[in-house]
Chain A
Amino acid sequence: AQTVTQSQPEMSVQEAETVTLSCTYDTSESDYYLFWYKQPPSRQMILVIRQEAYKQQNATENRFSVNFQKAAKSFSLKISDSQLGDAAMYFCAYRGSWYNNNDMRFGAGTRLTVKP
């Protein structure tokens, strides 16, 4: 079974600084998708960024970028120029290829605090 591990229960960053959230996963598949979701106190699940495993290029979305290391099964999220609104729980998620399973498996989350 696929598992997703987020080893940092909590992280903090100074406003305008950069922070990296770690995520590793375990899978025997070669084709899959990885996601980072943000969950603010309102508890909505907001997609931050996604990465297709077949793409070597790291995904970037404005201030958010990933470091995808397929061989190491690592998928970290970098937040640049951190803003107060970035404070939230961040969940890393894995979804397998369509023909295997299409549900998402989530990590335990990292609570990010942004200090003014």
Chain B
Amino acid sequence: EPEVTQTPSHQVTQMGQEVILRCVPISNHLYFYWYRQILGQKVEFLVSFYNNEISEKSEIFDDQFSVERPDGSNFTLKIRSTKLEDSAMYFCASIQDSNQPQHFGDGTRLSIL
């Protein structure tokens, strides 16, 4: 069964540095999402992306965050200047159409030092 792939599985970054989290959604999927889960807390929506543009974003997704689909297969989340509170598990998800449940990747654990 096709999977959503996320790399790296674990990213350690110094505070203030830029970080890019990468996702390869399932190939025929059209809608893409990023979620965040701070350790011990619930999964929170960050942003959704469709037709090469952001369709919705949460209050968490401020100017430090950006998303891109640079080459038709990768879907990236960039955090421009990381803060300690950005430490979390970041999940990418995708769906083909609105009737389907979201398929999640295995997540990237981001640790900010």
Binding site for B on A (CB under 8 A): 33, 35, 37, 42-47, 50, 91, 93, 95, 97-98, 101-109
A43 with B107, Cβ < 8 A, contacts A101-B56, A102-B98, A104-B102 known: yes
Q: List B5-36 residues whose CB lies under 8 Å from chain A.
A: 31, 33, 35
Instruction: Give complex CA distance A91, B93 in Å.
Output: 16
Q: Is B91 an interface residue (CB 8 A)?
A: yes
Residues of chain B at interface, number, CB under 8 A = 24
Q: Is the interface of B mostly helix, strand, loop or mixed?
A: strand
Are the C-beta atoms of B98 and A98 separated by less than 8 Å?
Answer: yes
Binding site for A on B (CB under 8 A): 31, 33, 35, 37, 41-45, 48, 55-56, 58, 89, 91, 93, 98, 101-104, 106-107, 109
Are the C-beta atoms of A35 and B98 separated by less than 8 Å?
Answer: no
Instruction: Give complex CA distance A95, B106 in Å.
Output: 20
Are the C-beta atoms of B56 and A103 separated by less than 8 Å?
Answer: yes
Q: Residues of A contacting B33 with CB < 8 Å?
A: 103-104
Give the residue of B31, B43, B89, B104 whose beta carbon is less than 8 angstroms from that of A102: B31
A108 with B41, Cβ < 8 A, contacts A44-B106, A45-B91 known: yes
* Interface pairs (24), CB distance under 8 Å: A33-B101, A43-B37, A43-B107, A43-B109, A44-B104, A44-B106, A44-B107, A45-B93, A45-B107, A91-B42, A91-B43, A95-B102, A102-B55, A102-B56, A102-B98, A103-B58, A104-B43, A104-B102, A106-B42, A106-B43, A107-B42, A108-B41, A108-B42, A109-B42
Please, which residue of chain A has its CB at the minimum distance from the CB of B44? A106
Are the C-beta atoms of B48 and A102 separated by less than 8 Å?
Answer: yes
Q: How far is the CB of A47 from chain B (nearest CB, A)?
A: 5
Instruction: Give complex CA distance A110, B41 in Å.
Output: 11
Q: Contacts A33-B101, A91-B43, A93-B43 known; list 19 others, CB within 8 Å.
A: A35-B101, A43-B106, A44-B104, A45-B43, A45-B91, A45-B104, A47-B103, A98-B98, A101-B56, A102-B56, A103-B45, A103-B56, A104-B43, A104-B102, A105-B45, A106-B42, A106-B44, A108-B41, A109-B42
